[in-house]
Structure 1
Amino acid sequence: MKYKLDNYKVGEIAKFYGVSVDTVRFYDRKGVLKPEKKGDNNYRTYNKEEFISMDYIMRLRSLGISIENIKKMASNVSLEESLEVVSETEREIEAQIRQLENQRRMIKGYKAKLKDCAERYGIVTMEQSPAFIIKDIKTTMKETMDAFEKLQLSTLPLLGILIDSERYDDMELYNCFIDRTQRQKICNYIVAASDYEGISKKPGFPMTEFEIIPPRRCVHIIGMDYTNIDYSSIKPIYDFIEANHLKIIAPPFLRILALENRGDAGVEYTEMWIPVE
């Protein structure tokens, strides 16, 4: 298209800027562009003023500025007001960058967990657990996850189970756990996140909303089980405790790390922590 400054048709200005006709018409409807209407059919034509406005729109859109704010900047506002709009957008982008950086840290940690699922399942170890921030699912999962989101953790909160039983030092607990009906009597469903950064110890942490499981000496295993069919992969952890003459000193706790579809059955990869002495 030969360069000119007036009498653009909507298709021409769209092609010139590499956008769709609908995009140009959207700017028309928002009042950011004000093309002249000509003829009985009210065909829109775009002159020098709209050409410059369209260029301004494209530059500001490339900065992530909203159409509403572009309309404000293109109206009768001062440079100081335009500067505040741009500064506001800058603050929003900086907040998005912080969120993306946090998500990247979460992804890095979760990748390590998935790698553990592939390489370490079924292996019983003695480890110092991290601190965990946990929250009972008392209402909805959305409300529970919203509470975690406010903490701005760098680790991913995961669905978990906290064993609620006075018999947690008894082998009978293992038998209850692998039985679906009995399991419902002893399991509290929670959401739990590792607290490697010590968020729970910082001033202002909402202690009334969460429970903290401190770091403890634990027997640990990543199990691979068929959902609601077979949870026998946790048996080696009890065998390990018995063979090493260990005593369970607090309720066991587990988190669901990943799921895998194997035909008619789903597979759960879970990590289990049992505090011992």
Structure 2
Amino acid sequence: MLNHYKIGEIANYYHVSAQTIRDYEAKGLIQSQRNPDTSYRYFGYQQTNQMSDIMQLREYQFSLKQISQLVTQSDIQDTICLYDKQAVKIQKTIEHLQANLLKLDQASTTLKHVKQNFNYVQFTVSPALYFDELKNYGQDDMFEPNHKYQSQRLNQLEGLAAFPVGFIFQIDISNYLLTPTWGLLANKKLPQFDNSSRLLPPKLCMHAFLVAGREGTLKSAYDQLIDKLTKKLNLVIIDQPFGRIILRCHENGEWKRYFELWCPVSEDCYNEYEKNTSIVV
């Protein structure tokens, strides 16, 4: 057929598959002409205009259902209404992506800071944080149905997965460091947090980074760090150390976790070292 194109030619021109064009035709978005002798589909001037309209509407991220309405039913006022609604939807998508872009940039900046300062400790004031305990976190049976409290907390905290998992080391009456309590750590109190949320006010701290395997190996990594530091510094820890998981990654054939750590120290200890920003671990 002269001045007509085969389905493969149209597909190549619009960078879609031939099956996509067949689907458009099945949904009534476009109507090909058929060769009566071969039943092959052919597309002329009218069909190429229809395809151009469809592809433009796809660029606007309309659904096929909406495109069907626009190309088969909508008058100018209906089209304006659908365009305005889609513009609002796209604007919300843009805002969501911009927020994610900002978070990615902040996360990348944090990781670069961790990499650059991993072998150093600093004495600084910790930020104000809120801690919400997650019972049985890090245990193999944490998702078992019999842990009703945990199931309730996970349901309540749905949507907060982006918040860092934090920890607080418990200390017994003899000042012996026990295994950590795990939970969510946030810089503001969230509505999903219940009344048991604990405020961690700003404190004079020794700040460091750790790397360990599973959460259960954190205490061992902490002990090794403190052992090194107490041989070099007059380190006086006066309260429960706390921190958060910065990153989970694959390193040297094993899964590793990078932790950020704050250890509350005495005022004399802080004053002695806070101006020294290059204390090597």
Global fold match (TM > 0.5): yes
Partner amino acid for 1:239?
Answer: T
Unpaired segments ≥5 residues, structure 1 = 150-155, 177-182
For the pair 1:125 / 2:112, whether they are aligned, the reply is no
For the pair 1:46 / 2:46, whether they are aligned, the reply is no
In structure 1, C-alpha distance between the alignment counterparts of 2:86 and 2:78, rounded to whole Å:
13
Which residue of the partner structure matches residue 238 of structure 2?
Answer: 247
Q: For residues 15-34 of structure 1, what are the structure 2 equivalents within 5 Å? A: 15-34=12-31
In structure 1, C-alpha distance between the alignment counterparts of 2:84 and 2:250, rounded to whole Å:
48
Q: For residues 111-122 of structure 1, what are the structure 2 equivalents within 5 Å? A: 111-122=108-119
Which residue of the partner structure matches residue 138 of structure 2?
Answer: none
Q: CA deviation at 1:56?
A: 0.6
Which residue of the partner structure matches residue 181 of structure 2?
Answer: 188
Which residue of the partner structure matches residue 167 of structure 1?
Answer: 172
Which residue of the partner structure matches residue 257 of structure 1?
Answer: 246
- SS of equivalent to 1:64: coil
Contact 2:236-2:265 within 8 A present in 1 as well: no
- SS of equivalent to 2:29: coil
How many residue pairs match? The answer is 244
For the pair 1:148 / 2:147, whether they are aligned, the reply is no
Partner amino acid for 1:129?
Answer: S
How much identity, in percent, do the aligned residues show? 20
Change (3 A) 1:30 1:253: farther
In structure 2, C-alpha distance between the alignment counterparts of 1:206 and 1:142, rounded to whole Å:
10
Deviations along 1:149-196, one digit per CA (max 9) or x if unpaired, are 7xxxxxx52233233x352881x21xx4xxxxxx3xxx3332334x3x
Which residue of the partner structure matches residue 180 of structure 1?
Answer: none
In structure 1, C-alpha distance between the alignment counterparts of 2:152 and 2:252, rounded to whole Å:
30
Change (3 A) 1:237 1:142: farther
Contact 1:129-1:216 within 8 A present in 2 as well: yes
Change (3 A) 1:46 1:125: same
Change (3 A) 1:247 1:237: farther
Q: CA deviation at 1:233?
A: 4.0
RMSD: 3.4
- SS of equivalent to 1:147: coil
Partner amino acid for 1:191?
Answer: L
In structure 2, C-alpha distance between the alignment counterparts of 1:106 and 1:53, rounded to whole Å:
41
Unpaired segments ≥5 residues, structure 2 = 135-149, 267-281
Contact 2:30-2:51 within 8 A present in 1 as well: yes
In structure 1, C-alpha distance between the alignment counterparts of 2:196 and 2:159, rounded to whole Å:
9
Change (3 A) 1:258 1:207: closer
- Tell me the TM-score normalized by structure 1: 0.72
Which residue of the partner structure matches residue 179 of structure 1?
Answer: none
Larger mean Cα displacement after TM superposition, 81-90 or 7-16: 7-16
Change (3 A) 1:24 1:273: same
Which residue of the partner structure matches residue 62 of structure 2?
Answer: 65
Match of 2:226 among 231, 235, 251: 235
Which residue of the partner structure matches residue 202 of structure 2?
Answer: 216
